[in-house]
Amino acid sequence: MITSRSSYLPMQFSSAQIQQFQQQGFLVVDALLPPEVVTTVDDRLDPLFATRFETGIYPDEWHGRPGLSQPNATRQMAGMWRCDRTVASLSFSAEIARLNAQLGGWSGARFAMDSCWLKPPNAPEVAFHRNNTYVSCIDPATVITCWIALNDITPDMGTLEVVPGSHRWQCADTFKFVHAPDYDYRQPLWEAAQQAGVEPTQVEVEAIALPAGGCVFLHGDLWHGSGRNCTEQTRRSIAISTVPQAARFQPPEVGVGYIFSRYRRLGDDAMDESFFPILWTPDGYRSPMAIAYCGDILALE
């Protein structure tokens, strides 16, 4: 069980911040997590990649395995909450879910996925994509992600790159493997801009610099990716995504979601709270599983 962190104070978005998110598709917050929370969570990540799972359960997705992958491969893991309850205590945080819901205009938030991205020196690019493409098996197919820096991140470290306003483009995206593309990692972005009728000179790619504990909230339709890490430091980040509380599965033949669909109940479109717990509602409801499993690292009481 994780103890509460008294140095954390609940954040309240201003109307200007919410409007910026709606117009730009992202919102940067320089200070979300206190330093002790950053250290506590970050200390759990390297053991996970060394196959030291506190619960004995493997993650949903795992790239960049020591001894099996190239030394400069991006280490990425999804479904870490299943492996480690300290990580889960952040992934299941009511506060992050509340902030995601506030930006999305939702009446409550349900857990979708957690993932970490550790980019060592010379780690290759990550192709541009939109997160909503990966939740199209869910209704509504919309997700908001809180992408958190676990160390100071600068543009030359292969930081997150976003395109302001691209969440409003009328364009298509297809499911793709985004690691180390053998093509220009921005090519999907240029194709989307062309389809949306946006001239290349009008596409602004913004590299996000963040201090440790800072974050950027991402609209699910925002185009984003990352370049090569050109420094001698590893870029360390963790991302927590939520969907609306009332979200359900689409019919089996609709959409893609190779991780989410693993937890679909036969003949039932409900999202099981054992795998997709409700993390925040205005009346204080949280799925009993989330409360019993790991606690909340940002809880004040």
Report d(CA 180, CA 224) in Å as an integer.
Answer: 15
Contact between 123 and 220 under an 8 Å Cβ cutoff? The reply is no
Structural domain of 140: 25-272
Q: Tell me whether residue 279 is in a domain.
A: no
Percent of the chain with pLDDT over 70: 97
pLDDT at 139: 97
How many domains would you assign to the chain?
1
Q: Between these two residues, 4 and 273, which has the higher pLDDT value? A: 273
pLDDT at 284: 94
At 3, the pLDDT band (50, 70, 90 cuts) reads very low
Q: Is residue 4's pLDDT more than 70? A: no
Report d(CA 203, CA 267) in Å as an integer.
Answer: 44
Q: Tell me whether residue 17 is in a domain.
A: no
Q: Between these two residues, 2 and 146, which has the higher pLDDT value? A: 146
**Per-residue DSSP letter, 76:** E
- AA identity, residue 264: R
Q: Tell me whether residue 92 is in a domain.
A: yes
Q: Is residue 301's pLDDT more than 60? A: no
pLDDT at 5: 45
Report d(CA 117, CA 123) in Å as an integer.
Answer: 11
Contact between 81 and 46 under an 8 Å Cβ cutoff? The reply is no
Q: Tell me whether residue 301 is in a domain.
A: no
220-228 mean pLDDT:
97
Q: Between these two residues, 67 and 70, which has the higher pLDDT value? A: 70
Q: Tell me whether residue 299 is in a domain.
A: no
Over 157-226, what HEC string results?
Answer: HCCEEECCCHHHCCCCCCCCCCECCCCCCCHHHHHHHHHHCCCHHHCCCEECCECCCCEEEEECCCCEEE
- CATH number, residue 93: 2.60.120.620
Q: Tell me whether residue 208 is in a domain.
A: yes
3-state SS class at 242: strand
Q: Tell me whether residue 209 is in a domain.
A: yes
pTM over 0.85: yes
pLDDT at 70: 83
133-142 as b/e: b if 16+ CB within 10 A:
bbbbbbbbbb
Q: Is residue 140's pLDDT more than 90? A: yes
Tokens of 89: 């205590």
pLDDT at 141: 95
pLDDT, tens digit, 9 for 90 and up, residues 283-296: 999 999 999 999 99
At 300, the pLDDT band (50, 70, 90 cuts) reads low
Report d(CA 258, CA 204) in Å as an integer.
Answer: 31
Q: Tell me whether residue 277 is in a domain.
A: no
pLDDT, tens digit, 9 for 90 and up, residues 238-259: 999 999 999 999 999 899 888 9
